[in-house]
Amino acid sequence: MDRRDFMQYTGFGLAGLMLPGFGKAVAAETMVSTMDVGAKKAIADTALGAARDAGASYCDVRIGRYLNQFVVTREDKVQNVVNTESLGVGVRVIANGTWGFSATSDLSSASVAAAARRAVAIAKANSKAQTAPVVLAPTPGLGEVAWKTPIVKNAMAIPIKDKADLLLSVNAAAINAGANFVNSTLFLVNEQKYFASTDGSYIDQDVHRIWAPLQVTAIDKASGKFRSRAGLSSPMGMGYEYLDGLASEKHRSPNGVINYAYSYDMVEDAREAAKHAKEKLAAPSVKPGKYDLVLEPSHMWLTIHESVGHPTELDRVLGYEANYAGTSFATLDKRDNKFQYGSDKVTIVADKVQKGSLGAVGYDDEGVKTKKWDIIKDGVLVNYQAIRDQVHIIGQNESHGCCYADSWSSVQFQRMANISLQPGKEAMDVEKMVSGVEDGIYIVGAGSFSIDQQRYNAQFGGQLFYEIKNGKLGKMLEDVAYQMRTPEFWNACAGVCDQRDYRIGGSFFDGKGQPGQVSAVSHGSSTARFNGINVINTARSLG
């Protein structure tokens, strides 16, 4: 099954999110095993030695075992159950001041040493055209260390039957609540990554992620109208315990919409989604104009991702992504001149250690211990996201620790950290925030998204839209999308709810680079208010 087939099978609105190469399919018992650390160290030392002998001034080795499982269903059918495994070694070197990379799936000493020598040969060949040598920020050798996602239940160890039964009960709940169609899927990821470098680090990591998307569709045959509502879960850096559906992790909006924090009740959400999809069929179309928007965390994450996460990636700022994803309006002079990115309510941090998040690891893919740092402080742009060979360009001497490769066979590069809006400092809940809005729209869930190549002009939809009139949440609206210019939007931020409302959302398959790589990243926020935002009506008639 290739990526396109997957999209056809599920029928989800996954366009724009990239799916990784899934590797080879394997039987169930291999999904809970790990490789011996001693064996990995021996392989790594072989590569490091061969690279040094061939003339490398620096070398890092990543031995990766990538396990995925997905279970795909629609209505009362399990459409597919797939286990995949991909194992191999990637060797990156600096020789003559230039990067070289090579990878192999053959873990024999001879093959690993040959890959190291090939990486050095590529570096030397490319060095002839190099105008400036690589400058690598120092990072301490850590010796032998380990890190593991703090999961409670290893999802790979849960029997396939339990997963299929869960999804079929989810689908049944939606159909019983009046849905015409429902798709639900489980994506489970385990990255077993071993990193070693000539700096003296040997890092063993066991990273787990989970995603449980669903989509429910209701149809009015007579009018030919159809409407869908996607699930309100988030992909998480958690184990199977995310699906326990704990009542304590539910956040009920003032109008009864149920959102989820660190535990998801998938059956309940499917039932609610069916009700919402039916309600959408009859909901009135929005009147276009300027509105104050109150944006739920299940919606906010995507706006943060596109309008703050991407423009503050240093490789984009510098022009390395100009031919594909694009550049950035947040140029270096803006940081130097204390650019007012947003209002003083806006503080945004990058964070590679946040528990439960998709981006959390102990160490990044070039052996740097991860951390948390400010990107926007009280509205002012203060920093970017940068890795070892970039930080010198912004006058810093310590990598931010956000280097990642999606496979042993991909070369690691700068990827987005978890980028999150910090909760407001004053006590504020959603009800109080809404009470101050005269003419607004409350938006729940992520929908359609599009942004230009410098991250100025964006348009976002959502899953659920509710009118706010004179401080009260009212009827459901349809056909809503808002358009924004990034700095104006963030400067229109009039308030952020406090810590009690803080939750994370995220992207399981964020694409970047040529050849393309995916990564998973979370974005946290509390519900936030933005004043005077341009809302368009997206209804059209095909005659």
Q: Using CB under 8 A, which residues numbered 389 to 448 contact another protein?
A: 409, 411, 448
Query: Is the bond into 213 cis (omega within 30 degrees of 0)?
Result: no
103 binds another protein, rule: CB under 8 A: yes
What span, in angstroms and rounded, lies between the C-alpha atoms of 31 and 201? 27
Task: Write out the two tokens for 421.
Answer: 């809006």
Task: Write out the two tokens for 30.
Answer: 């291999």
333 binds another protein, rule: CB under 8 A: no
17 binds another protein, rule: CB under 8 A: no
What span, in angstroms and rounded, lies between the C-alpha atoms of 293 and 476? 14
219 binds another protein, rule: CB under 8 A: yes
Binding test (CB under 8 A) with another protein, winner from 329, 408, 489, 502: 329
164 binds another protein, rule: CB under 8 A: yes
457 binds another protein, rule: CB under 8 A: yes
What span, in angstroms and rounded, lies between the C-alpha atoms of 197 and 93? 10
List the one residue out of 517, 513, 520 whose CA is nearest residue 324.
513
Per-residue interface string for the shown chain with another protein, residues 510-539, x marking contact by CB under 8 A: ----xx------------------x-x-xx
50 binds another protein, rule: CB under 8 A: no
Cβ proximity to another protein, 187 vs 260, nearer residue:
187
247 binds another protein, rule: CB under 8 A: no
The residue range among 22-30, 53-61, 191-199, 356-364 that interacts with another protein, by the rule CB under 8 A, is 22-30
Binding test (CB under 8 A) with another protein, winner from 99, 194, 384, 404: 99
335 binds another protein, rule: CB under 8 A: no
Sign of the torsion formed by the C-alpha atoms of 308, 309, 312 and 316: negative
Q: Which residues 171-210 are close enough to bind another protein by CB under 8 A?
A: 180-181
52 binds another protein, rule: CB under 8 A: no
130 binds another protein, rule: CB under 8 A: yes
384 binds another protein, rule: CB under 8 A: no
Cβ proximity to another protein, 99 vs 211, nearer residue:
99
List the one residue out of 334, 308, 313 whose CA is nearest residue 324.
313
What span, in angstroms and rounded, lies between the C-alpha atoms of 374 and 420? 10
Determine what percent of the chain falls in helix, strand and coil, rounding each to the nearest 5: 25, 35, 40
Burial code of 288-317, b = ≥16 C-beta within 10 A, e = fewer? eeebbbbbbbbbbbbbbbbbbbbbbbbbbb
Residues facing residue 227 across a β-bridge: 218
The residue range among 146-154, 246-254, 267-275, 321-329 that interacts with another protein, by the rule CB under 8 A, is 321-329
Cβ proximity to another protein, 193 vs 227, nearer residue:
227
